[in-house]
Amino acid sequence: MASRFVDRAVIQVAAGDGGNGCASVHREKFKPLGGPDGGNGGNGGDVLLVVDPNVHTLLDFHFRPHASAGNGKQGQGGNRAGAAGDSLELKVPDGTVVLSEDGEVLADLIGAGTTFVAAQGGRGGLGNAALASKARKAPGFALLGEAGEVRSLVLELRSVADVGLVGFPSAGKSSLISVLSAAKPKIADYPFTTLVPNLGVVTGGETVFTMADVPGLIPGASEGRGLGLDFLRHIERCAVLVHVVDCATYEPGRDPVSDVDALETELARYTPGLGGDLAGRPRVVVLNKIDVPEAAELAELVKPDFEARGLPVFEVSTASRKGLRELTFALAGIVEEYRAAQPTPEAERIVLRPQAVGDTGFTVEPDPDEPGGFIVRGARPQRWVRQTNFGNDEAVGYLADRLNRLGVEEALARQGAEPGCPVTIDGVTFDWEPSTPGVATYFAGRGTDVRLEEHGRVTAAQRKEARRVRRDGVPEAELDEDS
Ligand SMILES: Nc1nc2c(ncn2[C@@H]2O[C@H](COP(=O)(O)OP(=O)(O)OP(=O)(O)O)[C@@H](O)[C@H]2O)c(=O)[nH]1
Ligand SMILES: [Mg+2]
């Protein structure tokens, strides 16, 4: 048993940044302009959570809550791509549930090797060699690498067990798991001996199943009395719940029936984090300590009460090992039934990528803080802005082309955006200078872009014409390139 057990941890993960692309021109004797040869930047490394059966608690994350993956290297001249950053694998126990900071379940990691991308590395920027095209033979710019994802996540361990034992402190839960399995939990005659869940592997005939022993519950546990209900997350996945009842207790006012009722009241107040509820889970009543004569008598007395409720009842003694065989086989049967009903299409390795929301689309909305301004949102436009080196005019021109091709300009025009109005994308604000429809954007030599020469604002007549063209789609007359 781990001396310290941590079943909840908050972690900060930072994926690696992508390396910048390189803008370089091939140089060789007698070949003054050998073409662009800047390589791409390397992708940043991911931070991954991987289920490792040898890890049993989230203790490591308690001590080291920050984790970051390697950055991608910059691209270089001579078409040399930057190396990708190293990904970081964090080992988590089987049954780890990943939640967002506000409690939304993002993933439930079950089965060795199951992997979750906790933070995705930034993409490396393209070098100028990759950006070259017919229209742009020698780009004088490269794209920036993107920042890696940074996330705050909550990890919670919900043990994967078939049978969950619940009961008052000192009912004999740990004793039961110790005689049925090889687990050696601490057993003592004082309450709350068990402070962390224990897992044991039990064999009943052909069936092998796991059993979890959680700390004892007392009335008021749902209000935090005793150790509270927190540990019940470890029995959320159980096929069957076993009430372990102490028939030999001297405590006044307690008897097996009221003990079970009291704990049922507490169980009903527990809301499983994975959804569903514990109410519908099959239950079994184990009347323990029948080696004590008074206990055996009491067990005989109350057995019919439980049977009348339709609950299977087993009289056992973990001390004399009486009744354990029947109990084991009955539990094996229920577990088998549950497994047969439960489709278990568990792939060996599931990679759950965080969902990219609306990867292709974008939205245009009026900017509440800027009269006449607009905000453009969307995964692609925002990414493109992050990739742009605003110190390079050609790179800015390239961004404008990309936005135009996606239809951002058109959408802005449709929303009534006036040329020169402030448009914000991913925190960067531009003055919107639409390229006039019908006029092909063309590129001059390296380092220049015709639009950069147009310093004057668009005239009212031009604006009117542009609006008319947007409406009708055809230019009235042959437009002069310089107009
Ligand atoms: N006579 C007798 N004593 C038992 C039996 N089973 C358990 N005990 C005793 O009951 C006491 C409590 O047993 P545990 O197994 O630690 O009880 P628990 O339910 O795990 O208790 P917590 O961990 O505190 O919730 C110990 O002193 C055990 O020796 C039994 O069948 N007969
Ligand atoms: Mg115990």
Whole-number pLDDT of residue 172: 94
Burial class (CB in 10 A: 0-12, 13-18, 19+), 415: exposed
Looking at per-residue pLDDT, the higher value among 111 and 42 belongs to 42
Q: How far is ligand 2, taken at its centre, from the CA of residue 190, in Å?
A: 9
Mean pLDDT of the chain, nearest integer: 84
Return the SS3 of 61: helix
Report for 217-226, 323-332, 406-415: range of highest mean pLDDT = 323-332
Other beta carbons within 10 Å of 147:
17
Q: Which of 275, 308, 341 is the last residue of a domain?
A: 341
Q: Measured from the CA of 167, which atom of ligand 1 is nearest? A: 19
Q: Measured from the CA of 175, which atom of ligand 1 is nearest? A: 15
Indicate whether 88 and 153 sit together in one domain: yes
For the chain, state the CA radius of gyration: 33
Whole-number pLDDT of residue 10: 94
Structure token pair of residue 392: 């390079």
Whole-number pLDDT of residue 308: 95
Distances from the Cα of 114 to the Cαs of 95, 107, 312, in angstroms? 10, 10, 36
Confidence of residue 479 (pLDDT cuts 50, 70, 90): very low
Other beta carbons within 10 Å of 187:
16
**pLDDT over 90, % of the chain:** 42
186 is in an annotated binding site: no
Indicate whether 387 and 447 sit together in one domain: yes
Indicate whether 410 and 437 sit together in one domain: yes
Let me know: does 214 contact 197? Beta carbons within 8 Å. yes
Indicate whether 75 and 47 sit together in one domain: yes
57 is in an annotated binding site: no
Indicate whether 140 and 174 sit together in one domain: no
In sequence order, the 6+-apart residues with CB closer than 8 A to the CB of 342 are 239
Q: Measured from the CA of 191, which atom of ligand 1 is nearest? A: 24
Establish if 3 belongs to a structural domain.
Answer: no
Q: Measured from the CA of 189, which atom of ligand 1 is nearest? A: 27
Return the SS3 of 28: strand
Whole-number pLDDT of residue 475: 55
Q: How far is ligand 2, taken at its centre, from the CA of residue 242, in Å?
A: 14
In sequence order, the 6+-apart residues with CB closer than 8 A to the CB of 115 are 48, 49, 50, 51, 109, 349, 350, 351, 352
Indicate whether 323 and 184 sit together in one domain: yes
Could you say which ligand is closest to the alpha carbon of residue 193? 1
Looking at per-residue pLDDT, the higher value among 458 and 309 belongs to 309
Mean pLDDT score, 58-84 = 93
> 């569903």: which residue's tokens?
276
Distances from the Cα of 314 to the Cαs of 210, 267, 317, 337, 432, in angstroms? 19, 21, 10, 19, 78
- Output the ligand 1 site: residues, CB below 6 A: 167, 169-175, 187-189, 191-194, 215-216, 288-289, 291-292, 317-319
Whole-number pLDDT of residue 429: 87
Q: What does the H/E/C string look like for 240-296?
A: EEEEEEECCCCCCCCCHHHHHHHHHHHHHCCCCCCCCCCCCCCEEEEEECCCCHHHH
Establish if 478 belongs to a structural domain.
Answer: no
Distance of alpha carbon 232 from alpha carbon 166, whole angstroms: 9
252 is in an annotated binding site: no
Asked whether residue 203 carries a pLDDT value surpassing 80, the answer given is: yes
Whole-number pLDDT of residue 367: 87
Q: Phi/psi of residue 262, each to 5°?
A: -60, -40
Indicate whether 440 and 426 sit together in one domain: yes
Q: Measured from the CA of 165, which atom of ligand 1 is nearest? A: 19
Establish if 192 belongs to a structural domain.
Answer: yes
Q: How far is ligand 1, taken at its centre, from the CA of residue 275, in Å?
A: 32
Structure token pair of residue 13: 């993960």
Structure token pair of residue 270: 């527990």
151-186 pLDDT, tens digit each: 999 999 888 788 999 999 999 999 999 999 888 888
Indicate whether 333 and 442 sit together in one domain: no
Q: Which residues of 347-366 are buried (b: 16+ CB within 10 A; e: fewer)?
A: eeeeebebeeeeeeebebee
Amino acid identity, position 420: G
Confidence of residue 284 (pLDDT cuts 50, 70, 90): very high
Q: Which of 287, 308, 341 is the last residue of a domain?
A: 341
Mean pLDDT score, 279-294 = 93
Distance of alpha carbon 49 from alpha carbon 26, whole angstroms: 42
Indicate whether 171 and 270 sit together in one domain: yes
Establish if 98 belongs to a structural domain.
Answer: yes
Return the SS3 of 152: strand
Whole-number pLDDT of residue 150: 93
Q: Measured from the CA of 292, which atom of ligand 1 is nearest? A: 1
167 is in an annotated binding site: yes
Confidence of residue 44 (pLDDT cuts 50, 70, 90): very high
Residue to probe by mutation, ligand 1, list 5, 173, 175, 194, most atoms within 8 Å of CB: 175
Could you say which ligand is closest to the alpha carbon of residue 185? 2
Whole-number pLDDT of residue 253: 83
Mean pLDDT score, 269-275 = 79
Establish if 355 belongs to a structural domain.
Answer: no
Q: Which of 316-330, 331-345, 376-390, 416-430 has the lowest mean pLDDT?
A: 331-345
Confidence of residue 457 (pLDDT cuts 50, 70, 90): low
Indicate whether 48 and 140 sit together in one domain: yes
Q: How far is ligand 1, taken at its centre, from the CA of residue 319, in Å?
A: 9
318 is in an annotated binding site: yes
Mean pLDDT score, 364-389 = 89
- The answer to whether the predicted template modeling score (pTM) of the entire model surpasses 0.95 is no
Let me know: does 82 contact 143? Beta carbons within 8 Å. no
75-87 pLDDT, tens digit each: 999 999 999 999 9
Q: How far is ligand 2, taken at its centre, from the CA of residue 169, in Å?
A: 7
Establish if 2 belongs to a structural domain.
Answer: no
Closest-CA residue, ligand 1 atom 27, reads 189
Establish if 199 belongs to a structural domain.
Answer: yes
438 is in an annotated binding site: no
480 is in an annotated binding site: no
Q: How far is ligand 1, taken at its centre, from the CA of residue 173, in Å?
A: 7
Let me know: does 363 contact 376? Beta carbons within 8 Å. yes
Amino acid identity, position 406: L
Asked whether residue 400 carries a pLDDT value surpassing 80, the answer given is: yes
Q: How far is ligand 2, taken at its centre, from the CA of residue 223, in Å?
A: 21
CA-angle at 56, arms to 95 and 184, nearest 5°: 115
Whole-number pLDDT of residue 298: 93
Whole-number pLDDT of residue 153: 94
175 is in an annotated binding site: no
306-356 pLDDT, tens digit each: 999 999 999 999 999 999 999 999 999 999 998 888 765 454 555 555 555
Q: How far is ligand 2, taken at its centre, from the CA of residue 298, in Å?
A: 23
Structure token pair of residue 37: 């040869």
In sequence order, the 6+-apart residues with CB closer than 8 A to the CB of 373 are 366, 367, 421, 422, 423, 424, 429
Indicate whether 187 and 62 sit together in one domain: no
Report for 2-6, 352-356, 357-361: range of highest mean pLDDT = 357-361
Indicate whether 370 and 444 sit together in one domain: yes
Q: Which residues pair with 364 in a beta bridge?
A: 376
Establish if 144 belongs to a structural domain.
Answer: yes
Helix, strand, coil in percent for the chain, rounding step 5:
25, 20, 55
Closest-CA residue, ligand 1 atom 32, reads 289
Asked whether residue 225 carries a pLDDT value surpassing 90, the answer given is: no
Say which CATH number the domain at 443 has. 3.30.300.350
Residue to probe by mutation, ligand 1, list 187, 244, 247, 266, most atoms within 8 Å of CB: 187
131-147 pLDDT, tens digit each: 988 888 888 899 999 99
Whole-number pLDDT of residue 292: 94
Say which CATH number the domain at 29 has. 2.70.210.12
Amino acid identity, position 378: G
Domain count, the chain: 3
Say which CATH number the domain at 186 has. 3.40.50.300
**By residue range, what is the domain housing residue 330?**
163-341
CA-angle at 210, arms to 204 and 213, nearest 5°: 115
Q: How far is ligand 1, taken at its centre, from the CA of residue 190, in Å?
A: 9
192 is in an annotated binding site: yes
Q: Which of 37-51, 149-163, 294-308 has the lowest mean pLDDT?
A: 149-163
Q: Which of 126, 157, 188 is the last residue of a domain?
A: 157
